[in-house]
Amino acid sequence: MFSNTDEKIIAWYNCFRGKRKGSLLLQIMLRMGESKMNESEKLKVVLADRDGFYLQKLKRCLERKGDMTVVGMTDSGPAVLEMVRKLNADIVLLDILLGDRDGFWVLESLKKLGSDCICIMISAMDSDKMVRRAIGFGADYYMAKPIQGELLLERIHQLIEGEKRDKYEPSMNLNEEKSVYVIEGSYQNLEADISTTLSRMGISASIKGYHFIRRAIMMAVDNEEVLIGITKGLYPDIGKLFKTSASKVERAIRHAIESAWKKNGQQVYFEVVGYLTMDKPTNGQFIAALTEYFRIRQNEVSKKIS
């Protein structure tokens, strides 16, 4: 038999345990509610590969961090189109070799449908010819198997950020093919590499100067003559694209460079241009140096491919 004191202690314990259980249950319910609220914000992914085991492996990799959800898996080309259309997918990861129609057919069909989902081709065939074909058919990125999970996630987020920035930027209505070249054994857009370099310098994509600098470099890589008179030529041209004045373009670029110099931009700039300068470069010097850097890289890659 228990004494009165023992009974009181047991009663208090049971009461506390009940409250704790209730508290834990409440926390679980709240977390479940949060996950349901955030489910609609996750990136929707469709996977296509003939290897069912590989599909499951990809699914676990993509859903690990909680910002993506795999809404469909298949080995059929037509099924990919149906999933993208019905499930409103944001991203498609596919192999070249599928059950019926191949990955190139899928890319071409998505382009005809006007789909704006990001397409990443993952294949064991990593020849330059295959990569060029994939990009030509509309792939946003190409990765050779076997792939590293962390690298895949990094590339996906880079492409997503690029899509968000493109929505901010006006279209240039160019009929030219994308400027594509090799980095780390695979193809990547010139635009994406410029974005990465600017981010490393500490220039945030949230400021207008970031977008102005990136566009200026791309224009100068394509035609170096635009650097001859940036005040009367380059700034006004960028201003027209972004529907702003040349003076605001100049000021935003100057602000972006100043922002980089206050962070780690000086060291990254040194790595890029090959010499150390204590003085902050002018807008023209900054754009010209980076333009030369990316032009050299393109020329090196062209030699490797030819």
Domains of the chain from N-terminus onward: 40-168 (3.40.50.2300), 171-306 (1.10.10.10)
Q: So what's the pLDDT on residue 299?
A: 66
CB-hemisphere CA count at 13 Å for 283?
23
The amino acid that residue 229 corresponds to is G
Kindly write down the DSSP assignment for every residue of the chain, as one continuous string: ---HHHHHHHHHHHHHHHHHHHHHHHHHHHHHHHHHHHHTTSEEEEEE-S-HHHHHHHHHHHHTTSSEEEEEEES-HHHHHHHHHHHT-SEEEE-S--SSS-HHHHHHHHHHHT---EEEEEES---HHHHHHHHHHT-SEEEESS--HHHHHHHHHHHHHHHHHHHHSPP----SPP-EEEETTEEEEHHHHHHHHHHHTT--TTSHHHHHHHHHHHHHHH-GGGGTTIIIIIHHHHHHHHTS-HHHHHHHHHHHHHHHHHTTHHHHHHHHHSS--SSPPPHHHHHHHHHHHHHHHHHHHHHHH-
| CA 69 from centroid of its chain's CA atoms | 17
> pLDDT at position 29, please?
45
Quick one: pLDDT at residue 61? 92
Count CB-CB contacts under 10 A for residue 261: 17
pLDDT in tens, 115-135: 888 899 998 886 767 777 887
Cβ count within 10 A of residue 38: 11
In the sheet that holds 118-123, the strands lie side by side as: 68-74, 43-48, 91-94, 118-123, 141-144
Per-residue model confidence (pLDDT) at position 192: 81
Model confidence pLDDT, tens digit, residues 243-260? 888 998 999 999 989 888
The ranges of the chain with pLDDT < 50 are 1-3, 5-13, 15-30, 32-37, 164-188, 304-306
